[in-house]
Structure 1
């Protein structure tokens, strides 16, 4: 399974329709979670059936594609299943009891509810949300794959716009020659990684290098915030939301830089060695140290380890 991502271009009316579809998906997910809490012995298929009940009861739910409703129910069930697994494994501390979502940023369609254009450069959503036809901007070419291979399409809202992700069912085999090399990796803060052969990869510290710009953008955002409007439950000014979006885009740029760097280093390590050993760090617990939390988060240990597992598979 591979995922291709495109930036989508449309009109403001279409973007508002995407936001409405995301809110509806969040609504269904939270309703399914409440249904599980209020009833005993509720399983995955019970939540899928409950989507039809929600569609009959709420007009906004009926406007969303049936497969998208089931996808929202599957998200709720994935959180429930993870909670069950943690309880069975007797994980120490909190078991991750499912929580209601407040800020969802995506809606997922499965095999229906969308149609690609002939040249695969545009996608049309056919449900009653009114999203319509969106142009796809990207370097990937979907013409290499059959429509039946596209198992899911996800619309994602980010600070710099809206994106469409295509999950394609395809097997990719990369033929490599054995290197007969074994390496042990140590993750650090002063350096990114140091291996058992004496090689050291420097830590770029993307957040530290952009911290002045981030703090300046955060101050500008705070100056436009009105506590009186929050107390009166009135929407903040347009200037505040613009400053908030600029601040979010800067954070998004830092996270993308970190992810690309971790991806490049992980791919290089996997290609150069037949066996890679690294320490099993509990990053979630380590960031509780208030003196080192910022440096640990900036290092991107979890991202690097996840990339190593992905490339190894």
Structure 2
């Protein structure tokens, strides 16, 4: 599944209609959550029936396309099923009980309610909300795909405008020559990552860099009267600063992950639980700013695209164990050099990257993994457990 995004242009009344559709989606989702709370034994099909019931009861809900209403109920069931899955797996801490949504920013249509122009330069939304024809501007080319390959169309509101996303049913596969290289990655805060060859990539720290503009924009919001138009404008400026930082972090993760995957046949990294790590209030901001989880997600995605092997290993003792003799040398976070009695003296992160690579290569069943099918060798569902990318 590919997702192509285009900036959209229209009149103010069209954007007001989009906002109305977005509020309607939020209303339907919250109504479904409330229905499930009153009827805990209800299932996915019971929630789907609620979309038709709400359309008959509320005229503004009937104005929204039927497939968009169904997509809203699917969002509600997604939150409910995730809560059930967390309870069954008995994860520690909160289980994610479904909450009422307050800041929905998108509306999703399925195969009806929209019509793409022949030149693929505009799109018309045909439901009763009155969105109408919107111009599209982007770098992606939709002419390569048939209209029946577009399974979903999503309208997204962001701080800098409105966007249209096309979800296209196509499997992306690219063929590259084997590099005969394996690498282990140790992510950190001083450097974004250190590989098993000793190479380091600088941590860009986009949040820290944009902190000055962010503080100034936040002060402007605080000075304005609540509910005023000037406060709304100040909030939009603050949102654009946050949006730019998130885009910078995403772009950095995509480019770096693609470079790592295309340069190596096997990539080994730590199976870190970022959710637990950010509980340390001293390092939470720096860890969140680094974007390790996003980098890992793109590593796994490009691993499937290029047919590379990605392995997530247990992070326990990777920074304490000696890469030469295997002895555990305890050290604090402030100790940046690994010194062992066997004579091994390495940078702490370099030593950890070597241990990560050895742990990945020593996974049970690794023999002959270069001959495995790429769909079994890497992917989101194959990197949850240690060596799970080789279970196929």
Aligned residue number for residue 252 of structure 2: 261
Aligned residue number for residue 65 of structure 2: 65
CA deviation after TM superposition for structure 1 residue 43, in Å: 1.2
Aligned residue number for residue 103 of structure 2: 103
**Distance across 2 between alignment mates of 1:221 and 1:34:** 34
For the residue of structure 2 that corresponds to 1:166, the secondary structure is strand
For the residue of structure 2 that corresponds to 1:306, the secondary structure is helix
Q: TM-score, normalised by structure 2?
A: 0.76
**Distance across 2 between alignment mates of 1:86 and 1:178:** 39
Could you tell me which of 290, 296, 302 is aligned with 2:293?
A: 302
Aligned residue number for residue 4 of structure 2: 4
Aligned residue number for residue 278 of structure 1: 269
Kindly name which structure, 1 or 2, has the bigger radius of gyration based on alpha carbons: 2
| Mean Cα deviation higher: 102-111 or 265-274 | 265-274
For the residue of structure 1 that corresponds to 2:3, the secondary structure is strand
1:84 aligned onto 2:120: no
CA deviation after TM superposition for structure 1 residue 280, in Å: 1.4
* Number of residue pairs aligned between Structure 1 and Structure 2: 304
Q: TM-score, normalised by structure 1?
A: 0.95
1:197 aligned onto 2:200: no
Q: Any residues of structure 2 matched to 1:231-246 within 5 Å, and which? A: 236-246=227-237
CA deviation after TM superposition for structure 1 residue 257, in Å: 0.6
For the residue of structure 1 that corresponds to 2:133, the secondary structure is strand
Aligned residue number for residue 163 of structure 2: 163
Please list the CA deviations of residues 65-95 of structure 1 after superposition, one character each: whole Å capped at 9, or x if unmatched.
0000000000111111111111111111111
**Distance across 1 between alignment mates of 2:51 and 2:25:** 11
Aligned residue number for residue 284 of structure 2: 293
Please list the CA deviations of residues 157-199 of structure 1 after superposition, one character each: whole Å capped at 9, or x if unmatched.
0000000000001122200112222211111001001111111
CA deviation after TM superposition for structure 1 residue 36, in Å: 1.1
Greater helix share, 1 or 2? 1
For the residue of structure 2 that corresponds to 1:119, the secondary structure is coil
Q: Any residues of structure 2 matched to 1:89-168 within 5 Å, and which? A: 89-168=89-168
Higher RCO (C-alpha under 8 Å, 6+ residues apart): 1
**Distance across 2 between alignment mates of 1:187 and 1:124:** 45
Aligned residue number for residue 44 of structure 2: 44
RMSD of aligned alpha carbons:
0.9
For the residue of structure 1 that corresponds to 2:295, the secondary structure is helix
Any stretches of 5+ residues in structure 1 without a counterpart? 227-235
**Distance across 1 between alignment mates of 2:40 and 2:223:** 49
